[in-house]
Structure 1
């Protein structure tokens, strides 16, 4: 990396679900718990129903993640730590090699990489670790005396809140949008339009219909799979 690049670092931001991984990590977590008899079998179905309500506009992101937060309340901290390690080992096999290549591509160029996701930190950290991304901005759950309370700690990392989280992270490195040499954000969802419109290079992966139309209109890069994404472009 040249001296000018060190002075003006590049930043690579990644959404998680349906972007770096082709699934909903929250659903993967609930199915993992159900498969091990840790929770009632219907919990995964309940989560799916709430996801469908969110997609249909019948529920907010906050309501969806509040449901997830409540599911943590009755699990003992020691047991959760064990389950988190086992979940991380299980889900690592489901991460596409194309996701590893994409992250490695940016790391290899000296870019500062960060996952920015609405998924809660407990679940998302397992995937971030497997992908080798050390910076994770995610939805936070409240804890008291080491135990989850079933409440959110602050706003869901969703929509415009993602900009606030990224700016706080940048501020901690004495950076601002106007001091970054280049910024790229990969996402699949129209809910991420605020951050996609903020970066220098928005890239959409397997986009939902609204995001696909917006990307076509504005000439953004579109890839229907990570495997189809060209990494040799400047």
Structure 2
């Protein structure tokens, strides 16, 4: 029986926040008003770390600039973003972690609160075929059409990660009980709800709140970004 391996992204598989860095990248390119957007971007990021993020307001703020540009232009910018920001940040230990699960035949999925526009190419870079991310609404519902600047569906944030993961498993005709072992790797206390659902919760590069929670509950703690 294959096991289930779920991976958060930001500060878990990469030592940065892809959403926050994309915001900074938009400022750098002049896509958004530098002062106003940078201030809002930093405020939302602080709210996330504090566990009080308004996910809907955040998604609208991050997605609205996308609606002003063609998919071709956005892809070109994202390719540049991957080259300049994301790929240099990927560490071999994170790639090896994913590879071990894939080689074991585990069903792998990236489950992130960052939107699918930003994260789909990152999941691909890690060789993870299935992505659960905050969905981005398109004008006519077609995946290749222009963005409206609004989110769609249930955000994959906090308990929403459980809702989205269980819906995906159901689409495969599976439930948690179909897996002998289920793993979830995350750095964030925001992910405690999903960590509590799996048989093997792994606090990965955990924030202080999650580290304390993991220690109290006897969870494994994994450090992928330590340097010697």
CA contact (8 A) 1:14 1:185 kept: yes
In structure 2, the residue matched to 1:98 is: 93
CA contact (8 A) 1:10 1:180 kept: yes
In structure 1, the residue matched to 2:219 is: 220
TM-score, normalised via structure 2 length: 0.89
Q: Which deviates further from its counterpart, 84-93 or 101-110?
A: 84-93
CA contact (8 A) 1:99 1:226 kept: yes
CA displacement, residues 168-223 of structure 1 (integer Å, 9 cap, x when unaligned): 22122221111112110000111111110110100001222221121111100012
CA displacement, residues 62-111 of structure 1 (integer Å, 9 cap, x when unaligned): 22222112222222222112222222333212111111011011111111
In structure 1, the residue matched to 2:56 is: 62
Q: Which deviates further from its counterpart, 86-95 or 96-105?
A: 86-95
Q: Report SS of the residue matched to 1:19.
A: coil
Is 1:35 the equivalent of 2:28? yes
Q: Report SS of the residue matched to 1:140.
A: strand
In structure 2, the residue matched to 1:198 is: 197
Is 1:114 the equivalent of 2:109? yes
Structure 2: segments with no counterpart, 5+ residues: none
Distance 2:115 2:203 in 1: 22
Distance 2:109 2:52 in 1: 31
In structure 2, the residue matched to 1:85 is: 79
Is 1:44 the equivalent of 2:38? yes
Distance 1:227 1:18, change over 3 A: closer
CA contact (8 A) 1:27 1:44 kept: no
Distance 1:99 1:57 in 2: 25
Q: Report SS of the residue matched to 1:82.
A: helix
Shift of 1:129: 1.2
Shift of 1:57: 5.7
Is 1:74 the equivalent of 2:62? no
Distance 1:128 1:36, change over 3 A: same
Structure 1: segments with no counterpart, 5+ residues: 1-7, 229-234
Shift of 1:148: 1.5
